[in-house]
């Protein structure tokens, strides 16, 4: 009897082992099936995100890649107008845009400084780097401060002038060597016709940038009298522009900014020591300000300036300051020779 019991017990154990193996196989099979389902769902979600949601985001937010197509792209012309009207001495030469996905972009903005050695290099590490996230721009790198607005450059009720007496600055400039070349921001005691200022230019003296006076607008943008980059035709060269031609350019740039305000959303409009917030909202602060300024500029028959930037040799600058009464004078840069800094 004991032998039979042992045999039966052995048979039961063998059956239990076989049963356990079958159960384990069923569990493994179900787990593999579930794992494949999870992987399939993950892959499907990834495909939807990459090929459906990503393009959809690009359709509903500002796309600077699309706006930067062509030699004179909408993005380039808008940013050139923005810097020209708000940043004295600065000019945008080129822009490249990299798409990062989901409405995010990196913008490499080649900003040249007219008071510095001008090098048109698209991959210059000192270029301004900006990011646009869901239609809003922020400056992330500005190695030479070319995109940094200097407030209080000109005289205002809220800022004290660097020099309020011509004799003080004349005395200091006279100490410089004859080879010196200066860049200055000045506030004239009276309004000057732009045509009169442009006629003062010669090989030793230049009007670099003019803030245009608009009596019916708080925002007082400006325009450069010179351009050096991205010129398609000879008519783009401003060195020989008449006052009327410069006025047309000035108004045209304001309209470009107004019509394409979404392309510089996040950046501020600056005027002397005041800023106006840019927004993609068609009723935003900057948009309303631009609309009002354009109307004021078109209705204003005068094209005048009190605040402007000049450059020239030591003697040419001294000559100008001795015959012109200034309300304030700021020295922006001094080069001890035109051969270098």
Calculate mean pLDDT across residues 114-131: 76
Lowest pLDDT segment from 32-46, 76-90, 178-192, 311-325: 32-46
Choose among 287, 269, 281: nearest CA to 221: 269
pLDDT beyond 90 at 120: no
DSSP 191-230: EEEHHHHHHT-BTTEEEEEEEEP-TT-S---EEES---SS
Q: Count CA atoms within 13 Å of residue 316 on its CB side.
A: 18
Tens of pLDDT, residue by residue over 48-96, are 444 445 454 455 578 999 999 988 899 999 999 999 999 999 999 999 9
- Are the C-beta atoms of 132 and 64 separated by less than 8 Å? yes
pLDDT of residue 48: 43
Neighbours of 119 (CB within 10 A): 11
Grade residue 47 by pLDDT with cuts at 50, 70 and 90: very low
Rg of the chain over CA atoms, in angstroms? 33
Positive or negative torsion for Cα 113, 119, 122, 127: negative
Residue 146: φ, ψ to 5° = -75, -15
Q: Show Cβ contacts of residue 188 under 8 Å, excluding neighbours closer than 6 positions.
A: 305, 306, 307, 308, 324, 325, 326, 327
User: First and final CA of the chain: distance in angstroms?
Assistant: 113
pLDDT at 208 > cutoff 50: yes
User: Do 217 and 293 form a contact (C-beta atoms < 8 A)?
Assistant: yes
Return the pLDDT at 122: 55
Cβ contact 206:311 at 8 Å? yes
Inter-CA distances, 52 with 228, 268, 305, Å: 43, 34, 53
Cα separation, 241 vs 14, in Å, equals 103
Task: Give the burial class of 90: count Cβ atoms within 10 A of its Cβ; 0-12 exposed, 13-18 middle, 19 or more buried.
Answer: buried
Q: How many beta carbons lie within 10 A of that of residue 341, not counting itself? A: 9
Pick the range with the lowest mean pLDDT from 155-164, 218-227, 249-258, 315-324. 155-164
Q: CB neighbours of 295 closer than 8 A, spacing ≥ 6?
A: 216
How confident is the prediction for the chain on average, in pLDDT?
Answer: 82
d(CA 118, CA 93) in angstroms, rounded, equals: 10
Residue ranges per domain, the chain?
A: 1-50, 64-142, 166-335
């Amino acid at each position: 009897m004991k032998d039979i019991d042992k045999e039966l017990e052995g048979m039961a154990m063998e059956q239990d082992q076989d049963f356990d193996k079958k159960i384990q196989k069923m569990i493994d099979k179900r787990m593999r099936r579930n794992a494949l389902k999870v992987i399939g769902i993950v892959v499907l979600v990834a495909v939807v995100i990459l090929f459906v949601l990503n393009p959809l985001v690009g359709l509903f937010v500002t796309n600077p890649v699309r706006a930067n197509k062509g030699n004179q792209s909408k993005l380039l012309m808008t940013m050139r107008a923005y810097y020209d009207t708000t940043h004295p001495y600065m000019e945008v030469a080129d822009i490249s845009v990299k798409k990062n996905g989901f409405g995010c972009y990196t913008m490499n903005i080649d900003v040249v400084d007219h008071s510095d050695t001008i090098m048109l290099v698209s991959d210059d590490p000192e270029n301004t780097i900006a990011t646009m996230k869901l239609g809003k721009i922020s400056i992330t790198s500005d190695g030479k401060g070319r995109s940094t607005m200097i407030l209080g450059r000109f005289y205002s009720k809220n800022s004290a002038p660097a020099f309020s007496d011509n004799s003080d600055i004349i005395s200091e400039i006279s100490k410089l060597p004859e080879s010196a070349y200066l860049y200055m921001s000045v506030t004239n005691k009276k309004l000057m016709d732009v045509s009169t200022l442009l006629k003062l230019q010669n090989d030793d003296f230049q009007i670099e940038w003019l803030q245009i006076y608009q009596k019916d607008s708080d925002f007082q943008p400006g325009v450069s009298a010179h351009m050096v980059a991205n010129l398609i035709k000879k008519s783009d060269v401003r060195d020989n522009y008449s006052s009327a031609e410069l006025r047309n350019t000035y108004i045209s740039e304001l309209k470009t900014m107004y019509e394409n305000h979404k392309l510089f959303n996040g950046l501020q409009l600056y005027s002397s020591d005041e800023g106006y917030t840019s927004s993609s909202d068609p009723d935003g602060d900057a948009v309303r300000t631009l609309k009002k300024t354009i109307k004021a500029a078109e209705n204003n028959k005068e094209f005048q300036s009190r605040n402007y930037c000049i450059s020239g040799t030591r003697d040419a600058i001294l000559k100008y300051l001795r015959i012109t009464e200034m309300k304030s004078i700021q020295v922006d840069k001094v080069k001890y020779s035109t051969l270098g800094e």
